[in-house]
Structure 1
């Protein structure tokens, strides 16, 4: 009996050890080292080609970016369940997309759902998989060649390969910004390629290149699958090594290859701009994947991946001499008589690259707030209706096709409540963002799929049907007028009822007192008195002239951005409004726009837009 127990213990320990070595540490024995890797997708010139069982034919990526967040959960909780994924895959394919792009290793349920959805599907969804580099790593003291950056990045690339081949187990928290679980489903047959990295911080790229500028060989890499040209930078050499080690690992262990791209965006694009544009946008670094070459051993090939939005950073809006950017005739880049700088920029990318170009992110937001304007065609970062969003996406897609790109991925599939943005962070509890929807934060509303509050339906819909309202919602009565209110995780709803109400001619004012520490009992412009101090007032003055206004002392634009917008310090004694100031002002948001370039004046105030206007 004693021997039996010892043998069982040895077998258990041996099994545990083998499991750890194989599934967690990635140890393997290459059984057929001379075998040539297989691939079903490859590049030819500026095209991506896919094997259909008989021949390689051109393949256009029509993709959508899929995040990992849902209401009530952080994205890093990876809380989306398998049935939800399968339902979404069906919606995505019915929409006309053929590809999903994900940014990092997801929870194991994603791959299980993807496998189940595709296994009996004659027309499967394809997958582009990413490898994430978290914000702390990019914004810390590290350069891209430090062990905490480079080796972690390379290790995560290798982990991603094992995950898609169904040979990985990841413990909770073992991989930064990634899921966990048992990855036992092989989905590699539907994976067409990898986008390695993220939107690189320009300062990280510049710091790396500066640190290794005088180090012999730091800008060189020569591997079996990737190598650098003489023009390469140290950062590009690091990327070449990442690609080489990724392809080498998959080729040796799994005898297969996929397409490879390195993430990029305009902030680190390979172009030279006029000095005033570079200075204003602080463009200090370039990543040019043309400096990263592939050998004949890499059968699949490399493509160039860019995140390109029509509004940011729209360098070309501020260009005066287009000939310096290689444009002799701008006629092809006009849309309805307006210069389409988005299409022009995309054309710069396809002209520059000798490999296929994929716009792996593009889109616009339907959030009520806004952060950027597209000056020419109005495809803005926020403050767009769903109808306007749909048209903008179609127009951007047509620009992408016209420029000669071989595919694109819309950002994004679903709205993401956990997101934040720079011009509303002062008003948000950053520890609670997933639990309520901030309609003013444009970053939360890029999704094609929205989430309404409520487990089955919202408490109220602004549709003219008052059947969901009852007497318990009434907050005020005066004469023949009645005011009711509801709220949920997204909105505060008001309903005004009045006999014979004419929305075009009647004027209605709803005062709001939200804090006892501020407000005024008198509204000077309208000559109104209130029985208590108010902070906001809703002014309903017809369909085109209604808005919410705020008492000037409580105006957040003033307290946060007075020097940028009003050109004075709001906290100097003489600039502070009286506590009971009777002045109410429009509610505006600051926009990140290059007004100094427009007016050729570095001291020009920032642009704002009226977010309190009601439509």
Structure 2
């Protein structure tokens, strides 16, 4: 991802999810309801077949330290009772639930218990977390593993940088981030051994960790995705910092200052583990922005400005468990994936890139893709390789793509693949919807779920908002006979009943910011209107959604004026998301045009997950004389529906406007008209239900296949 996408990962506290399936559960975001009976989800997917082999740990002792996993050259081995496993498959689990920021670490004991069971049922063997979770996570993991001795969940424990002030100071060696990380690695070691008590602080868990899960700790991953601007600046500032020559980890002679800092932290973690008699492979987080390769075709300088190389941070003979290269690698970003000549014509540029990385680290360093996946969202933020875009996938498509990528990682000899993520995360944001939401405190993102923000839809388990209940603001004996309205924390629902099936286009206009209401096709338009509109055409079986060109949200995306799509002659613009700005390609000096996803071309179909034809991107239906619309709040110009705040572009900048309600006009031509208003109550609390996403079976099958 590019730097302006980077914080779509929400570095404030870190966390990604792991696959959640098995039994559906109704949750409120604060106190989850009991999971429904297993029969309620039996038809959704089949549990992975029981494995006759034992996956119980078979630790070995080397150098006086007990290790359940270790590096052997370019291979990473998990020592189990049925033999050594050389490909690790699993999922990433974040630390939050709807209605909460990551730093609140809001996952409950019941959720951990349910999710671990579901992971096991899906054939997951490896669970990665990004930070120290509350004590209940380790207690539940120990209880699960003791109850499933032959099929435990192995833990890849992350140690996140608690103080990210280096992003502002450009000094990773400053006292604040260094002291914070040194304390965090020691606390993380104590936590997994059930030997930690600490007070809760903002952004970190507190309590007493008394569950020893160290027998199942397969690996450690420390650090963050290194920033493409702050990292080289910190390296320049700290050029005189000495190489780290520790007891357990040391630098090679050509290590950068950032690599020296990382080596010291990995050495501190190894020392804490060795003091407890255990060892496991230790790696650090990395991503394509800071990979050690050169990408001359990359159009964004910050995406190829620094290399952080695992080959420069190596274990000493005193650390028997070794290390590996850990990469978050997705098939849609950075742009060099689509433009680097050596990757084109290979059949799969994403795989070509991973093989390039593997070659760099071979033969002495295993490579594991510790984050990969595609989101099942209506919106997208970037075009990807082989159709694997950063969004605009049905749930079935996303699950199949994740499954295929997992199999590909195994086929090409990588050390493992961990799917991102277990559950959808409402707090996330992404570069092309952030400007539309920037007028509101970012903490409010977690209380509503935006279908256009792809980062909120990576989960194997969906976190669906719950409807408030239908009301009927319009009724008539003739023409437009009835308009019913409902809403949840993602969508506004309109059910329009006509006297007769429509034979000509039906137009629905929305006056969001008061200023007069117009409709597409009107002979005249009121100056200064701030409108959105949908046209349903029964003849062509299409529906489109447009916005007044003067307030088109694309105007907030920082595009050159020539790249902004021009409104139609009547002043309306098709609703779009920018998926790439125009950039000069350094090798050819060409400038491809800006790229857009036309979200205004509405998708017809079913949004009922109980039906085989379900597609969560669908937004309209026409059956006889009934039209049903399901429109994202964000496509109605709401920056934050929970606080009833709309966004209006003014001179390229977002301006927030409080709205009390939305005026709606239905014009069915000869079929009559309706004039009504949609009102709703502001909210401060997320309400949701949990559901395994449609089409998960191929992913379950892939987990099984790569584990054989």
Q: Which residue of 2 aligns with 1:264?
A: 286
Shift of 1:161: 0.2
In the alignment, does 2:321 pair up with 1:294? no
Work out whether residues 420 and 459 of structure 2, in 8 Å CA contact, stay in contact via their aligned partners in 1. yes
User: How far apart are the structure 1 equivalents of 2:524 and 2:492?
Assistant: 24
User: How far apart are the structure 1 equivalents of 2:558 and 2:222?
Assistant: 41
Q: Which residue of 1 aligns with 2:551?
A: 554
Q: Which residue of 2 aligns with 1:96?
A: 123
The equivalent position to 1:509 in structure 2, one of 499, 507, 510, is 507
In the alignment, does 2:136 pair up with 1:109? yes
TM-score (norm. length: structure 1): 0.81
Shift of 1:279: 4.9
Work out whether residues 63 and 408 of structure 1, in 8 Å CA contact, stay in contact via their aligned partners in 2. yes
Q: Which whole-Å deviations, capped at 9, do the CAs of 1:151-183 have from their partners, x for residues lacking one?
A: 32122111100011011112111xx63211111
Q: Which residue of 1 aligns with 2:204?
A: 178
Look up the SS of the partner of 2:428 in the other structure: coil
Look up the SS of the partner of 2:100 in the other structure: coil
Q: 1:82 to 1:582 in 2, by over 3 A?
A: same
Q: Which whole-Å deviations, capped at 9, do the CAs of 1:228-276 have from their partners, x for residues lacking one?
A: 1122111111111111121112102x111111001100000000121x5
Q: 1:584 to 1:343 in 2, by over 3 A?
A: same
RMSD in angstroms over aligned alpha carbons?
2.8
Q: Which has the larger radius of gyration?
A: 1
Q: Which residue of 1 aligns with 2:12?
A: none
| Counterpart mapping for 1:92-171 below 5 A | 92-122=119-149, 123-134=151-162, 136-171=164-199
Q: 1:145 to 1:497 in 2, by over 3 A?
A: same
User: How far apart are the structure 2 equivalents of 1:279 and 1:239?
Assistant: 26
Q: Which residue of 1 aligns with 2:537?
A: 541
Look up the SS of the partner of 2:387 in the other structure: coil
| Counterpart mapping for 1:594-605 below 5 A | 595-597=583-585, 600=588, 605=593
Work out whether residues 104 and 204 of structure 2, in 8 Å CA contact, stay in contact via their aligned partners in 1. no
User: How far apart are the structure 2 equivalents of 1:533 and 1:293?
Assistant: 63
Q: Which residue of 1 aligns with 2:702?
A: none
Q: Which residue of 2 aligns with 1:444?
A: 456
Q: Which residue of 2 aligns with 1:245?
A: 268
User: How far apart are the structure 2 equivalents of 1:134 and 1:592?
Assistant: 32
Q: Which whole-Å deviations, capped at 9, do the CAs of 1:463-499 have from their partners, x for residues lacking one?
A: xxxxxx6xx4243545154322111111101112235
Q: 1:534 to 1:511 in 2, by over 3 A?
A: farther
User: How far apart are the structure 1 equivalents of 2:162 and 2:600?
Assistant: 35
Instruction: Compare relative contact order (CA 8 Å, sep 6+) and give the higher one, 1 or 2.
Output: 2
User: How far apart are the structure 2 equivalents of 1:206 and 1:159?
Assistant: 29
Work out whether residues 588 and 610 of structure 1, in 8 Å CA contact, stay in contact via their aligned partners in 2. yes
Look up the SS of the partner of 1:152 in the other structure: helix
Q: 1:586 to 1:163 in 2, by over 3 A?
A: same
Q: 1:565 to 1:168 in 2, by over 3 A?
A: farther
Work out whether residues 66 and 101 of structure 1, in 8 Å CA contact, stay in contact via their aligned partners in 2. yes
| Counterpart mapping for 1:43-58 below 5 A | 43-53=71-81, 57-58=84-85
Work out whether residues 368 and 439 of structure 1, in 8 Å CA contact, stay in contact via their aligned partners in 2. yes
Work out whether residues 363 and 410 of structure 1, in 8 Å CA contact, stay in contact via their aligned partners in 2. yes
Work out whether residues 142 and 148 of structure 1, in 8 Å CA contact, stay in contact via their aligned partners in 2. no
| Counterpart mapping for 1:19-98 below 5 A | 36-53=64-81, 57-98=84-125
User: How far apart are the structure 2 equivalents of 1:436 and 1:544?
Assistant: 31
Gaps of 5+ in 2: 1-61, 604-708
Work out whether residues 35 and 255 of structure 1, in 8 Å CA contact, stay in contact via their aligned partners in 2. no
Shift of 1:534: 6.4
Work out whether residues 519 and 554 of structure 1, in 8 Å CA contact, stay in contact via their aligned partners in 2. no
Work out whether residues 229 and 291 of structure 1, in 8 Å CA contact, stay in contact via their aligned partners in 2. yes
| Counterpart mapping for 1:337-416 below 5 A | 340-353=348-361, 354-374=364-384, 376-416=385-425
Shift of 1:599: 11
User: How far apart are the structure 1 equivalents of 2:178 and 2:185?
Assistant: 11
Q: 1:487 to 1:594 in 2, by over 3 A?
A: same
User: How far apart are the structure 2 equivalents of 1:358 and 1:35?
Assistant: 25
User: How far apart are the structure 2 equivalents of 1:177 and 1:192?
Assistant: 25
User: How far apart are the structure 1 equivalents of 2:372 and 2:549?
Assistant: 38
Work out whether residues 232 and 305 of structure 2, in 8 Å CA contact, stay in contact via their aligned partners in 1. yes
Q: 1:136 to 1:249 in 2, by over 3 A?
A: closer
Q: Which whole-Å deviations, capped at 9, do the CAs of 1:506-555 have from their partners, x for residues lacking one?
A: 52211111121x354364x454889x966111111257631111112221
Shift of 1:135: 6.8
Look up the SS of the partner of 2:255 in the other structure: coil
User: How far apart are the structure 2 equivalents of 1:372 and 1:441?
Assistant: 12
Gaps of 5+ in 1: 1-33, 335-339, 461-468
Q: Which residue of 1 aligns with 2:474?
A: 475
User: How far apart are the structure 2 equivalents of 1:121 and 1:557?
Assistant: 52
Q: Which residue of 2 aligns with 1:420?
A: 429
Q: Which residue of 1 aligns with 2:641?
A: none
In the alignment, does 2:220 pair up with 1:194? yes
Q: 1:310 to 1:135 in 2, by over 3 A?
A: farther
Identify, as 1 or 2, the structure richer in helix: 1
Q: 1:37 to 1:590 in 2, by over 3 A?
A: same
Q: Which residue of 2 aligns with 1:497?
A: 497
In the alignment, does 2:239 pair up with 1:227? no
Q: Which residue of 1 aligns with 2:235?
A: 209
Q: 1:598 to 1:537 in 2, by over 3 A?
A: farther
TM-score (norm. length: structure 2): 0.70
User: How far apart are the structure 1 equivalents of 2:587 and 2:483?
Assistant: 47
Shift of 1:342: 0.5
Q: 1:538 to 1:522 in 2, by over 3 A?
A: closer
Work out whether residues 164 and 177 of structure 2, in 8 Å CA contact, stay in contact via their aligned partners in 1. no
User: How far apart are the structure 2 equivalents of 1:239 and 1:194?
Assistant: 13
User: How far apart are the structure 1 equivalents of 2:101 and 2:130?
Assistant: 15
Q: 1:444 to 1:484 in 2, by over 3 A?
A: same
Work out whether residues 582 and 591 of structure 2, in 8 Å CA contact, stay in contact via their aligned partners in 1. no
